[in-house]
Amino acid sequence: MAKKQQSELTTAEKKKQQKRDLILESAKVVFSKKGLIDATMKDIIEECGISRGGIYLYFRSVDEIFLAVLEQRSKRKFDDVREMIMEQVPFETILNKYFSDHRKRLLHSISDGMLRAVYEYYYTHKTEASSSLQQAQLSETKRTIHEIFQVGVQQGVLKDENLAVIAENYMFVIEGLGILALTGHITEQTIDDQIAVMRQLLPYRN
Amino acid sequence: MAKKQQSELTTAEKKKQQKRDLILESAKVVFSKKGLIDATMKDIIEECGISRGGIYLYFRSVDEIFLAVLEQRSKRKFDDVREMIMEQVPFETILNKYFSDHRKRLLHSISDGMLRAVYEYYYTHKTEASSSLQQAQLSETKRTIHEIFQVGVQQGVLKDENLAVIAENYMFVIEGLGILALTGHITEQTIDDQIAVMRQLLPYRN
């Protein structure tokens, strides 16, 4: 579907989007290297080779670029899972893929520069902006989980009972594991144990 | 037990402890009124009436006082529950009390000045200090829950199966609810629904 939209764009619009993507890609490199606090517009300009005037047509500040990178990142994060949902792949396959994507993410988050920058953002910005970002990321997690559950209901695997509440439990556990991962207090065992508990909550038909 | 320890202190030690408590009580008033960032040593000195030289015998900075207030607060938070654990009150009674304490806390956290100051701390301090504070609060929550479960095992109500993992699930959900509460995105229904899901995880004997 994303590709179809792409083909409907005019050449000028496509060029504009390519330039925006280039800025975001370059910014990601800078953030991963320097974190958020030490990153400057100058760094990003040098990385992408677009003029100072050119970049300000797209973004007014490092923070604005940072938020755009995050948005793109969170959209892409579970692309495979989203595609499986659309294609109505068997529920268990999607759920397994979702858990294994998180597993990978959690085990590698310590070495993930962008994730460190996200926490830098949480900890250094005014409560309101960062808490609404946190809020948005929470809702996004819950929404994806709930969509996976809906596939289970449609395929007759899950009863349609309490699924929004269970999705919220998953959301809390996944976000909490993320905090542990980032501070280095996580093991594969911890992740697998929590996934087992989450599975236990599902209202399977018979 | 706390009282017994108290009676073993010498008069000089008692006086010192009283003075420390006075500083912490006064600081709590200041933090609740002004938040953390705007609070100064001068504010705390004025509130408690101890001389500048006197206060520095106990604490070297506003941050140090803030962390001591938090420590005291987290010790007192579930005092009733801890006493019930020691007195081996029936498991269900303790668990109900624990959940109802959290329920109250979550519903009032929006108007709780100290809690706002805690988040100010998380968001404005260097990642390491604040993430280890967050870490400590997480572990504390898990420890209390696990102790309650142990009472259930001793009283023959719960099977000793997977309890550490379930305690961790509770910890994530409780901390996550706290974030929702603080940003105003919480209802009584949300809390009650999550408590119901948590209960569902318990391995009751028959």
Chain A residues 117-176 with a CB less than 8 Å from chain B: 119-120, 122-127, 130-132, 134-135, 138, 162, 165-166, 168-169, 171-173, 175-176
Residue B1 has pLDDT above 50, yes or no: no
Summarised one tens digit per residue, pLDDT across range B4-27 is: 555 677 888 889 889 999 999 999
Distance from CA of B176 to the nearest CA of A (A): 5
Residues in CB range of A142: below 8 A, 6 or more apart: A167, A168, A170, A171
Q: Do A172 and B176 touch (CB under 8 A)?
A: yes
Considering the domain architecture, whether residues B96 and B132 belong to the same structural domain is answered as: yes
Position B119 scores a pLDDT of 66
Q: Do B130 and A123 touch (CB under 8 A)?
A: yes
Taking Cα atoms as reference points, which of A28, A33, A31, A24 lies closest to residue A55? A24
What is the percent of chain B where pLDDT is above 70?
Answer: 85
Q: Which long-range contacts (CB under 8 A, 24 or more apart) does B50-56 make?
A: B50/B19, B50/B22, B50/B23, B54/B19, B55/B23
Residues in CB range of B50: below 8 A, 6 or more apart: B19, B22, B23
Would B6 be classed as within a structural domain? no
Q: Do A173 and B173 touch (CB under 8 A)?
A: yes
φ, ψ dihedrals at B139, nearest 5°: -60, -40
Taking Cα atoms as reference points, which of A119, A129, A97, A109 lies closest to residue A36? A119
**Alpha-carbon torsion, ordered B96, B97, B102, B107, to 10 deg:** 90
Would A73 be classed as within a structural domain? no
What three-state secondary structure class fits A168? Answer: helix
Position A124 scores a pLDDT of 62
Distance from CA of B151 to the nearest CA of A (A): 21
Position A194 scores a pLDDT of 97
Whole-angstrom distance, CA of residue B196 vs CA of residue A123? 32
CATH of the domain at A40: 1.10.10.60
Q: Which long-range contacts (CB under 8 A, 24 or more apart) does B71-77 make?
A: B72/B24, B73/B28, B73/B114, B74/B137, B74/B140, B77/B101, B77/B105
What is the average per-residue pLDDT within B172-179?
88
What is the average per-residue pLDDT within B174-197?
87
Summarised one tens digit per residue, pLDDT across range A76-125 is: 778 889 999 999 999 999 999 999 999 988 887 656 677 677 766 765 65
Considering the domain architecture, whether residues A31 and A124 belong to the same structural domain is answered as: no
Residue B2 has pLDDT above 50, yes or no: no
Distance from CA of B8 to the nearest CA of A (A): 38
Distance from CA of A180 to the nearest CA of B (A): 8
Considering the domain architecture, whether residues B96 and B161 belong to the same structural domain is answered as: yes
* Cα four-point dihedral sign B89, B94, B100, B101: positive
Distance from CA of A176 to the nearest CA of B (A): 5
Hey, how many other C-beta atoms are within 10 angstroms of the C-beta on B36? 21
Please indicate whether residue B127 or residue A166 has the higher confidence score (pLDDT).
Answer: A166
Nearest residue on chain A to B168, alpha-carbon basis = A194
What is the average per-residue pLDDT within B153-173?
96
Please indicate whether residue A110 or residue B28 has the higher confidence score (pLDDT).
Answer: B28
Check: CB of residue A162 under 8 Å from CB of residue A203: yes
DSSP label of B158: B
CATH of the domain at A168: 1.10.357
Would A2 be classed as within a structural domain? no
Considering the domain architecture, whether residues A120 and A34 belong to the same structural domain is answered as: no
Summarised one tens digit per residue, pLDDT across range A9-37 is: 788 888 988 999 999 999 999 988 887 87
Whole-angstrom distance, CA of residue B154 vs CA of residue B161? 13
Which residue in the set B119, B124, B173 is minimally distant from A172, CB to CB? B173
* Greatest C-alpha distance within chain A: 63
What is the average per-residue pLDDT within B160-179?
93
Position B120 scores a pLDDT of 67
B182 close to A (CB below 8 A):
yes
Position A2 scores a pLDDT of 46
Summarised one tens digit per residue, pLDDT across range B55-114 is: 999 999 988 898 888 878 777 778 889 999 999 999 999 999 999 999 988 887 656 677
Give the range of the structural domain holding residue B28, as residue numbers without chain letter: 11-65
Position A179 scores a pLDDT of 77
Position B125 scores a pLDDT of 59
Would A135 be classed as within a structural domain? yes
Would A70 be classed as within a structural domain? no
Hey, how many other C-beta atoms are within 10 angstroms of the C-beta on A135? 15
Whole-complex ipTM: 0.74
Would A1 be classed as within a structural domain? no
Mutate one of A127, A130, A193, A200 to test the B interface: name it (highest B CB count within 10 A).
A127
Considering the domain architecture, whether residues A48 and A99 belong to the same structural domain is answered as: no
Position B123 scores a pLDDT of 59
Whole-angstrom distance, CA of residue A127 vs CA of residue B35? 12
What is the percent of chain A where pLDDT is above 90?
Answer: 50
Q: Do A119 and B125 touch (CB under 8 A)?
A: no
Taking Cα atoms as reference points, which of A143, A129, A18 lies closest to residue A75? A143
Considering the domain architecture, whether residues A45 and A86 belong to the same structural domain is answered as: no
Residue A1 has pLDDT above 50, yes or no: no
Position A202 scores a pLDDT of 97
What mean pLDDT is reported for chain A? 85
Considering the domain architecture, whether residues B57 and B100 belong to the same structural domain is answered as: no
